[in-house]
Amino acid sequence: MSKKTKKIICIGGGTGISMVLSGLLDFPCDLSAVVTMFDDGGSSGRLAREFNILPPGDVRQCLVATAQNKKLAKIFTYRFASGPKKGHNWGNLLIIEALKNKKGDWNKAVEELRKKLNAKAKIWPVTLEKAKIKAILKNKEEIIGEENIINSRDVSRVGVKKLSLFPGVKANPKAILAIKEAGLIIIGPGKFYTSLIPNFLVKGIPEAIKRSKAKKVFICNLMTQEKNTDKLRVEDYVNILENYLRSSLDFIIFNTTGLSGQSMEKVRKIFPKSEFVGYDKKTLEKRNFIGADLLDGRIRELNPADILVKGANQRTIVFHDAKKLAKILLKLA
């Protein structure tokens, strides 16, 4: 392996870390991803219940984002608009078929699909065991399940006291090994309480990160998530994340700009109360906080066939600029 090759691992949910991975594809990087497995909404959640498996959606997104076989990747992204599979993603079904062929072995199934897609990143489920996310709010209310947490107004209004997994689960050994070998660990962006934090509730993951000598980088979300992270600022995200990591971050990357009025109007039609994540101006003076214009100015269109998501659990339509992020990340690496 070339001395210039960087071993980089991304940890989080499918949409956020697939964007980060896509920006690093053209650089000399040995890429891997550790992906959340607690999605219980949309196509992924329904298939998980129907076939008694872990949800496949986040893994699928990372495979597609790093695939060099573009024809097969296009099939993986297809979503049925009618019929008995309406709303389901073909890629999710192909993962289920691969799991059958590998007798339920997630690591072998995903690796087989990675080779077929000629995907540049190795993708590892954070755990191979089933669990649900449990949020205990500051008024002692308990909310169980990713979709229920996302759609509960009390998460922001009351505040989260503690997140846990029910039942507790241990880490995928492949995920632990990938963290151990990494020279740069990237966390986020993604749905904070349901895609990011749950990875660090898995037994063995925070311990592996704490032991690692790699630089730990957090990419803060662009916008607040309605009902979940309203009014949280960059500094709040960092404090909460470090509490669950049980260790300190080396660098925090965050966005300092916003959208034009016309573009923001498009966002407001879907997310009427979301705002760009704020920050204290003094934060810009701190050495390990890197603030920059990180916006991809395009507003993504939602797929009309994507009918299985509910309420606040809408797809992201405002994204980071993956290339801008890649340049910063490679300097840190």
- Give the separation between CA 77 and CA 61, rounded to whole angstroms: 8
The answer to whether residues 169 and 129 touch, using CB atoms and an 8 Å cutoff, is yes
pLDDT digits (tens, 9 = 90+) for 255-300: 999 998 888 998 988 889 999 999 999 999 998 999 999 999 887 7
Q: What is the pLDDT of residues 30-81, one digit of tens each?
A: 999 999 999 998 889 999 999 999 999 999 999 999 999 999 999 999 998 8
**Identity of the amino acid at 31:** L
3-class DSSP assignment, residue 295: strand
Handedness of CA 206, 210, 216, 217 (dihedral sign): positive
How many whole angstroms separate alpha carbon 51 and alpha carbon 197? Answer: 26
The CB density around residue 158, as the number of other CB atoms within 10 Å, is 14
Q: What is the pLDDT along the chain (333 residues), one digit of tens a residue?
A: 445 678 999 999 988 999 999 999 999 999 999 999 999 988 899 999 999 999 999 999 999 999 999 999 999 999 988 888 888 889 999 999 999 999 999 999 999 999 999 999 999 999 999 999 999 999 999 999 999 999 999 999 999 999 999 999 999 999 999 999 999 999 999 999 999 999 999 999 999 999 999 999 999 999 999 999 999 999 999 999 999 999 999 999 999 999 988 889 989 888 899 999 999 999 999 989 999 999 998 877 776 666 666 655 567 889 999 999 999 999 998
| Rg of the chain (C-alpha set) | 19
Phi and psi at 316, nearest 5°, equal -65, 135
| pLDDT the model gives residue 1 | 40
- Whether the Cβ atoms of residue 169 and residue 178 lie closer than 8 Å to each other: no
How many Cα atoms are found within 13 Å in the side-chain-facing hemisphere of 30?
13
228 contacts: CB under 8 Å, gap ≥ 6: 149, 150, 155, 156, 191, 192, 193, 194, 312
The pairing of beta strand 29-35 with beta strand 6-12: parallel
Read off the pTM: 0.95
What's the pLDDT at 270? 86
Nearest to 256 by CA among 295, 206, 292: 292
What tokens appear for 118 in the block? 């000629």
Residues 6 or more apart in contact with residue 310 via CB below 8 angstroms = 41, 147, 151
What ranges make up the beta strands (E) of 109-224? 122-125, 132-137, 142-144, 160-166, 184-187, 215-219
- As a whole number of angstroms, the distance between CA 36 and CA 110 comes to 14
Q: What are the chain's domains?
A: 6-332 (3.40.50.10680)
Contact (CB, 8 A) for 208 and 180 = yes
Give DSSP secondary structure letters for 302-319: PPTT--S--TT-PPP-EE
Strands (E), the chain: 6-12, 29-35, 122-125, 132-137, 142-144, 160-166, 184-187, 215-219, 251-255, 289-292, 295-299, 318-320
CB-CB contact of 66 with 21 (8 Å): yes
- Cα-based angle 171, 172, 178 (whole degrees, multiple of 5): 105
